[in-house]
Structure 1
Protein backbone atom coordinates (compact mmCIF):
# COMPACT_ATOMS: atom_id res chain seq x y z
CA UNK A 1 0.00 0.00 0.00
CA UNK A 2 1.32 3.44 -0.84
CA UNK A 3 2.10 5.53 2.22
CA UNK A 4 0.17 8.72 2.80
CA UNK A 5 2.13 11.85 3.65
CA UNK A 6 0.79 14.25 6.24
CA UNK A 7 -0.21 17.58 4.73
CA UNK A 8 0.74 20.63 6.77
CA UNK A 9 -1.00 23.90 6.03
CA UNK A 10 1.23 26.90 6.68
CA UNK A 11 -0.60 30.13 7.45
CA UNK A 12 1.13 33.27 6.24
CA UNK A 13 0.21 36.84 7.16
CA UNK A 14 -0.48 39.30 4.38
CA UNK A 15 2.17 41.97 3.95
CA UNK A 16 2.24 45.36 2.26
CA UNK A 17 -0.53 47.70 1.16
CA UNK A 18 -0.95 46.97 -2.55
CA UNK A 19 -4.61 45.96 -2.05
CA UNK A 20 -5.35 48.41 0.76
CA UNK A 21 -8.76 50.14 0.74
CA UNK A 22 -9.07 53.88 1.31
CA UNK A 23 -11.91 56.30 1.89
CA UNK A 24 -10.45 59.44 0.34
CA UNK A 25 -7.15 59.62 2.23
CA UNK A 26 -8.29 57.56 5.21
CA UNK A 27 -6.83 54.05 5.30
CA UNK A 28 -9.61 51.58 6.13
CA UNK A 29 -8.97 49.00 8.84
CA UNK A 30 -10.99 46.26 10.52
CA UNK A 31 -10.58 44.43 13.79
CA UNK A 32 -12.27 42.43 16.51
CA UNK A 33 -12.76 42.16 20.23
CA UNK A 34 -12.40 38.38 20.65
CA UNK A 35 -14.38 36.97 23.58
CA UNK A 36 -15.57 33.74 25.15
CA UNK A 37 -17.80 32.78 28.07
CA UNK A 38 -15.92 31.05 30.88
CA UNK A 39 -17.22 28.08 32.86
CA UNK A 40 -18.53 30.41 35.56
CA UNK A 41 -20.68 32.26 33.01
CA UNK A 42 -18.50 35.36 32.93
CA UNK A 43 -16.99 36.76 29.71
CA UNK A 44 -13.28 36.87 28.97
CA UNK A 45 -11.62 38.84 26.20
CA UNK A 46 -8.45 38.12 24.24
CA UNK A 47 -5.83 40.80 23.86
CA UNK A 48 -2.49 40.62 22.09
CA UNK A 49 0.94 42.04 22.77
CA UNK A 50 3.10 43.98 20.34
CA UNK A 51 6.89 44.32 20.24
CA UNK A 52 8.60 46.56 22.81
CA UNK A 53 5.36 47.52 24.58
CA UNK A 54 3.93 46.55 27.96
CA UNK A 55 0.30 47.35 27.16
CA UNK A 56 -1.99 45.27 24.96
CA UNK A 57 -4.32 45.71 21.97
CA UNK A 58 -7.20 44.05 20.14
CA UNK A 59 -6.39 42.52 16.73
CA UNK A 60 -6.88 44.93 13.83
CA UNK A 61 -5.29 45.79 10.50
CA UNK A 62 -5.78 46.87 6.91
CA UNK A 63 -8.99 46.06 5.02
CA UNK A 64 -8.05 44.95 1.50
CA UNK A 65 -9.94 45.22 -1.78
CA UNK A 66 -10.44 41.48 -2.36
CA UNK A 67 -12.36 40.89 0.89
CA UNK A 68 -15.39 42.26 2.69
CA UNK A 69 -14.98 43.95 6.05
CA UNK A 70 -15.96 40.81 8.01
CA UNK A 71 -13.35 38.76 6.16
CA UNK A 72 -10.75 41.43 6.89
CA UNK A 73 -11.59 41.47 10.60
CA UNK A 74 -11.54 37.65 10.76
CA UNK A 75 -8.20 37.52 8.95
CA UNK A 76 -6.62 39.96 11.38
CA UNK A 77 -7.87 37.87 14.32
CA UNK A 78 -6.28 34.79 12.76
CA UNK A 79 -3.00 36.48 11.84
CA UNK A 80 -2.41 38.37 15.08
CA UNK A 81 -4.15 36.21 17.69
CA UNK A 82 -4.49 32.77 16.11
CA UNK A 83 -8.23 32.52 16.68
CA UNK A 84 -11.28 31.78 14.56
CA UNK A 85 -14.85 32.47 15.49
CA UNK A 86 -18.24 33.97 14.78
CA UNK A 87 -18.44 37.68 14.06
CA UNK A 88 -21.43 39.76 15.06
CA UNK A 89 -22.04 41.71 11.86
CA UNK A 90 -23.29 44.78 13.69
CA UNK A 91 -20.13 46.75 14.34
CA UNK A 92 -19.26 47.76 17.87
CA UNK A 93 -18.40 51.14 16.37
CA UNK A 94 -16.27 53.12 13.97
CA UNK A 95 -13.21 54.94 15.23
CA UNK A 96 -10.68 57.29 13.64
CA UNK A 97 -7.09 56.35 14.40
CA UNK A 98 -4.19 58.73 13.91
CA UNK A 99 -0.53 57.87 13.78
CA UNK A 100 1.86 59.89 15.92
CA UNK A 101 3.16 61.63 12.81
CA UNK A 102 -0.34 62.89 11.91
CA UNK A 103 -1.49 64.05 15.33
CA UNK A 104 -0.46 67.65 14.71
CA UNK A 105 -3.11 68.13 12.00
CA UNK A 106 -6.32 66.60 13.38
CA UNK A 107 -8.42 68.00 10.53
CA UNK A 108 -6.51 66.21 7.78
CA UNK A 109 -7.18 62.55 6.90
CA UNK A 110 -3.62 62.11 5.67
CA UNK A 111 -1.89 59.40 7.68
CA UNK A 112 -5.11 58.49 9.53
CA UNK A 113 -7.27 55.37 9.53
CA UNK A 114 -10.97 54.63 9.87
CA UNK A 115 -11.60 51.35 11.58
CA UNK A 116 -14.63 49.11 12.06
CA UNK A 117 -14.40 46.94 15.17
CA UNK A 118 -16.58 43.85 15.64
CA UNK A 119 -17.32 41.37 18.41
CA UNK A 120 -16.03 37.87 17.71
CA UNK A 121 -17.09 34.87 19.78
CA UNK A 122 -14.03 32.62 19.61
CA UNK A 123 -14.68 29.05 18.52
CA UNK A 124 -11.13 27.82 17.90
CA UNK A 125 -7.62 28.67 19.11
CA UNK A 126 -4.70 27.62 16.93
CA UNK A 127 -1.45 26.37 18.45
CA UNK A 128 0.48 28.26 15.77
CA UNK A 129 -0.44 31.44 13.93
CA UNK A 130 1.27 33.72 11.40
CA UNK A 131 2.36 36.55 13.72
CA UNK A 132 2.99 34.64 16.94
CA UNK A 133 6.62 35.78 16.99
CA UNK A 134 5.50 39.40 17.39
CA UNK A 135 2.02 39.02 18.91
CA UNK A 136 1.49 37.01 22.06
CA UNK A 137 -2.06 36.49 23.29
CA UNK A 138 -3.69 36.54 26.70
CA UNK A 139 -7.22 35.86 27.97
CA UNK A 140 -8.22 38.37 30.64
CA UNK A 141 -11.31 39.53 32.48
CA UNK A 142 -13.03 42.69 31.20
CA UNK A 143 -11.78 44.54 34.30
CA UNK A 144 -8.19 43.59 33.51
CA UNK A 145 -8.71 44.48 29.85
CA UNK A 146 -9.80 48.00 30.84
CA UNK A 147 -6.58 48.36 32.81
CA UNK A 148 -4.28 46.90 30.16
CA UNK A 149 -5.77 48.37 26.96
CA UNK A 150 -3.53 50.85 25.21
CA UNK A 151 -6.16 53.25 23.85
CA UNK A 152 -9.46 54.76 24.88
CA UNK A 153 -11.19 53.42 21.74
CA UNK A 154 -10.48 49.92 23.01
CA UNK A 155 -12.30 50.63 26.28
CA UNK A 156 -15.22 52.05 24.32
CA UNK A 157 -15.37 48.95 22.10
CA UNK A 158 -15.18 46.73 25.18
CA UNK A 159 -18.05 48.63 26.80
CA UNK A 160 -20.10 48.19 23.62
CA UNK A 161 -19.40 44.44 23.71
CA UNK A 162 -20.39 44.13 27.37
CA UNK A 163 -23.62 45.97 26.65
CA UNK A 164 -24.50 43.12 24.27
CA UNK A 165 -23.94 40.45 26.91
CA UNK A 166 -26.22 41.60 29.76
CA UNK A 167 -27.36 38.09 30.67
CA UNK A 168 -23.86 36.86 31.39
CA UNK A 169 -21.92 39.99 32.24
CA UNK A 170 -22.15 41.37 35.77
CA UNK A 171 -18.87 43.25 35.56
CA UNK A 172 -18.63 46.80 36.86
CA UNK A 173 -18.18 49.09 33.90
CA UNK A 174 -19.43 52.46 32.74
CA UNK A 175 -20.65 52.01 29.17
CA UNK A 176 -20.95 54.98 26.82
CA UNK A 177 -24.30 55.34 25.03
CA UNK A 178 -23.94 54.99 21.28
CA UNK A 179 -26.44 54.53 18.42
CA UNK A 180 -26.50 51.03 17.00
CA UNK A 181 -24.22 50.57 14.00
CA UNK A 182 -25.93 49.26 10.86
CA UNK A 183 -24.87 46.00 9.27
CA UNK A 184 -22.43 46.74 6.49
CA UNK A 185 -22.80 46.01 2.81
CA UNK A 186 -21.01 42.73 2.01
CA UNK A 187 -20.28 43.18 -1.67
CA UNK A 188 -16.55 42.96 -2.41
CA UNK A 189 -15.01 45.84 -4.32
CA UNK A 190 -17.27 48.45 -2.70
CA UNK A 191 -16.03 51.13 -0.34
CA UNK A 192 -18.75 51.19 2.29
CA UNK A 193 -20.54 54.28 3.52
CA UNK A 194 -18.92 55.49 6.72
CA UNK A 195 -20.78 56.02 9.95
CA UNK A 196 -20.05 59.24 11.75
CA UNK A 197 -17.16 58.59 14.11
CA UNK A 198 -17.97 58.77 17.81
CA UNK A 199 -17.48 62.17 19.39
CA UNK A 200 -14.86 60.66 21.66
CA UNK A 201 -12.86 59.21 18.78
CA UNK A 202 -10.35 62.05 18.50
CA UNK A 203 -8.38 61.05 21.62
CA UNK A 204 -8.20 57.45 20.34
CA UNK A 205 -4.73 57.72 18.86
CA UNK A 206 -3.32 54.53 17.45
CA UNK A 207 -0.53 53.51 15.19
CA UNK A 208 -2.12 52.33 11.95
Structure 2
Protein backbone atom coordinates (compact mmCIF):
# COMPACT_ATOMS: atom_id res chain seq x y z
CA UNK A 1 0.00 0.00 0.00
CA UNK A 2 1.33 3.46 -0.93
CA UNK A 3 1.82 6.39 1.33
CA UNK A 4 -1.06 8.86 1.42
CA UNK A 5 -0.05 12.43 0.70
CA UNK A 6 -2.35 15.00 2.28
CA UNK A 7 -2.97 18.28 0.46
CA UNK A 8 -2.40 21.53 2.32
CA UNK A 9 -2.46 25.20 1.37
CA UNK A 10 0.09 27.80 2.40
CA UNK A 11 0.53 31.54 2.12
CA UNK A 12 3.83 33.18 1.31
CA UNK A 13 3.29 36.63 2.88
CA UNK A 14 5.51 39.29 1.30
CA UNK A 15 6.06 43.05 1.24
CA UNK A 16 8.58 45.57 0.01
CA UNK A 17 10.08 47.62 2.85
CA UNK A 18 10.73 51.40 2.72
CA UNK A 19 14.03 50.78 0.87
CA UNK A 20 12.40 48.57 -1.77
CA UNK A 21 13.79 45.34 -0.26
CA UNK A 22 11.52 42.32 -0.60
CA UNK A 23 10.67 40.73 2.76
CA UNK A 24 8.98 37.45 3.68
CA UNK A 25 6.86 36.92 6.80
CA UNK A 26 7.65 33.64 8.57
CA UNK A 27 6.20 31.96 11.63
CA UNK A 28 7.46 29.21 13.89
CA UNK A 29 5.79 25.84 14.06
CA UNK A 30 4.08 25.11 17.35
CA UNK A 31 6.07 22.06 18.43
CA UNK A 32 9.52 22.14 16.88
CA UNK A 33 9.71 25.96 16.61
CA UNK A 34 11.11 25.72 13.07
CA UNK A 35 10.62 28.71 10.78
CA UNK A 36 7.87 27.99 8.24
CA UNK A 37 5.16 29.77 6.25
CA UNK A 38 1.52 29.87 7.40
CA UNK A 39 -0.22 26.74 6.15
CA UNK A 40 -3.03 24.36 6.89
CA UNK A 41 -5.62 22.03 5.49
CA UNK A 42 -7.96 23.00 2.66
CA UNK A 43 -11.36 24.26 3.81
CA UNK A 44 -14.54 22.91 2.23
CA UNK A 45 -16.31 26.21 1.68
CA UNK A 46 -13.25 28.24 0.63
CA UNK A 47 -11.20 28.29 -2.56
CA UNK A 48 -7.63 27.11 -1.85
CA UNK A 49 -6.11 30.61 -2.07
CA UNK A 50 -8.73 31.99 0.33
CA UNK A 51 -8.00 29.15 2.77
CA UNK A 52 -4.29 30.06 2.55
CA UNK A 53 -5.16 33.70 3.30
CA UNK A 54 -7.17 32.61 6.32
CA UNK A 55 -4.19 30.60 7.60
CA UNK A 56 -1.98 33.69 7.21
CA UNK A 57 -4.42 35.67 9.34
CA UNK A 58 -4.95 32.97 11.98
CA UNK A 59 -1.25 32.11 12.36
CA UNK A 60 0.46 35.48 11.72
CA UNK A 61 -2.17 38.22 11.85
CA UNK A 62 -1.45 39.04 8.20
CA UNK A 63 -4.09 40.71 6.05
CA UNK A 64 -3.67 41.45 2.38
CA UNK A 65 -4.26 40.46 -1.21
CA UNK A 66 -3.60 36.85 -2.20
CA UNK A 67 -2.96 35.52 -5.67
CA UNK A 68 -5.55 33.18 -7.10
CA UNK A 69 -3.03 30.72 -8.50
CA UNK A 70 -0.41 28.67 -6.73
CA UNK A 71 3.23 29.57 -7.36
CA UNK A 72 4.31 26.00 -6.68
CA UNK A 73 4.39 23.45 -3.92
CA UNK A 74 6.67 21.73 -1.46
CA UNK A 75 6.36 18.64 0.70
CA UNK A 76 6.81 18.18 4.40
CA UNK A 77 6.14 15.62 7.09
CA UNK A 78 3.65 16.25 9.85
CA UNK A 79 3.46 14.38 13.13
CA UNK A 80 0.19 14.01 14.95
CA UNK A 81 -0.61 11.65 17.81
CA UNK A 82 2.33 9.31 17.17
CA UNK A 83 1.57 9.15 13.45
CA UNK A 84 3.45 10.75 10.60
CA UNK A 85 1.86 12.12 7.45
CA UNK A 86 3.33 13.42 4.24
CA UNK A 87 1.83 16.66 3.04
CA UNK A 88 2.00 18.55 -0.27
CA UNK A 89 1.58 22.29 0.29
CA UNK A 90 0.34 24.48 -2.58
CA UNK A 91 1.79 27.96 -1.99
CA UNK A 92 -0.02 31.23 -2.78
CA UNK A 93 1.70 34.61 -2.64
CA UNK A 94 0.05 37.16 -0.35
CA UNK A 95 0.89 40.86 -0.49
CA UNK A 96 0.57 41.91 3.14
CA UNK A 97 -1.18 45.24 3.53
CA UNK A 98 -1.16 45.17 7.34
CA UNK A 99 -0.73 42.99 10.39
CA UNK A 100 -3.01 42.98 13.38
CA UNK A 101 -1.90 42.48 16.97
CA UNK A 102 -4.81 40.23 17.91
CA UNK A 103 -5.11 36.99 15.94
CA UNK A 104 -6.14 33.45 16.93
CA UNK A 105 -2.67 31.88 17.32
CA UNK A 106 -0.78 34.81 18.81
CA UNK A 107 1.28 33.62 21.75
CA UNK A 108 1.63 30.16 20.17
CA UNK A 109 4.12 31.16 17.47
CA UNK A 110 6.86 33.66 16.80
CA UNK A 111 6.18 35.89 13.78
CA UNK A 112 8.92 37.85 12.02
CA UNK A 113 9.77 39.63 8.77
CA UNK A 114 12.92 38.35 7.02
CA UNK A 115 14.86 39.42 3.98
CA UNK A 116 14.68 36.71 1.32
CA UNK A 117 18.26 35.59 2.02
CA UNK A 118 17.66 35.47 5.77
CA UNK A 119 14.39 33.57 5.28
CA UNK A 120 16.15 31.02 3.11
CA UNK A 121 18.81 30.66 5.82
CA UNK A 122 16.20 30.15 8.55
CA UNK A 123 14.05 27.58 6.73
CA UNK A 124 15.15 23.94 6.87
CA UNK A 125 12.96 22.57 4.06
CA UNK A 126 15.05 22.70 0.87
CA UNK A 127 12.08 22.77 -1.50
CA UNK A 128 10.46 25.64 0.39
CA UNK A 129 13.77 27.57 0.26
CA UNK A 130 13.94 27.00 -3.51
CA UNK A 131 10.32 28.07 -3.97
CA UNK A 132 10.93 31.29 -2.03
CA UNK A 133 13.99 32.06 -4.14
CA UNK A 134 12.05 31.52 -7.37
CA UNK A 135 9.08 33.64 -6.24
CA UNK A 136 11.42 36.38 -4.97
CA UNK A 137 13.18 36.51 -8.35
CA UNK A 138 9.80 36.81 -10.11
CA UNK A 139 8.61 39.56 -7.78
CA UNK A 140 11.91 41.45 -7.90
CA UNK A 141 11.89 41.45 -11.70
CA UNK A 142 8.38 42.91 -11.70
CA UNK A 143 9.41 45.49 -9.09
CA UNK A 144 6.41 44.86 -6.89
CA UNK A 145 4.71 42.12 -4.89
CA UNK A 146 1.66 40.26 -6.12
CA UNK A 147 -0.75 43.23 -5.89
CA UNK A 148 -2.64 43.66 -9.09
CA UNK A 149 -2.49 39.96 -9.91
CA UNK A 150 -5.84 38.22 -10.23
CA UNK A 151 -7.04 37.01 -6.85
Q: Under TM normalisation by the shorter chain, which class is it?
A: 0.7 to 0.9
CA-to-aligned-CA distance 1:10-59 (integer Å, 9 cap, x gap): xxxxxxxxxxxxxx943221011101011111111100123454531110
- What residue in structure 2 maps to residue 160 of structure 1? 134
Unaligned runs of 5+ in 2: 145-150
TM-score by length of 1: 0.60
- What residue in structure 1 maps to residue 64 of structure 2? 85
**Structure 2 residue corresponding to 1:40, chosen from 19, 23, 32:** 19
Q: CA RMSD in A?
A: 2.3
2:56 counterpart SS class: helix
- What residue in structure 1 maps to residue 108 of structure 2? 134
Q: How many residues align?
A: 139
Q: 1:163 to 1:113 in 2, by over 3 A?
A: same
- When you count strand as a share of all residues, which structure comes out higher? 2
1:71 aligns with 2:37: no
Distance 1:112 1:83 in 2: 26
Shift of 1:167: 4.4
Distance 2:75 2:32 in 1: 22
Distance 2:5 2:43 in 1: 13
1:151 aligns with 2:125: yes
Shift of 1:122: 0.2
Unaligned runs of 5+ in 1: 1-23, 103-110, 170-185, 187-208
CA-to-aligned-CA distance 1:67-97 (integer Å, 9 cap, x gap): 1101110110011011111112231212333
Q: Which has the larger radius of gyration?
A: 1
- When you count helix as a share of all residues, which structure comes out higher? 2
Structure 2 matches for 1:1-208, cutoff 5 A? 25-51=4-30, 53-99=32-78, 102=84, 111-165=85-139, 166-168=141-143
Distance 1:129 1:58 in 2: 16
Q: 1:51 to 1:98 in 2, by over 3 A?
A: closer
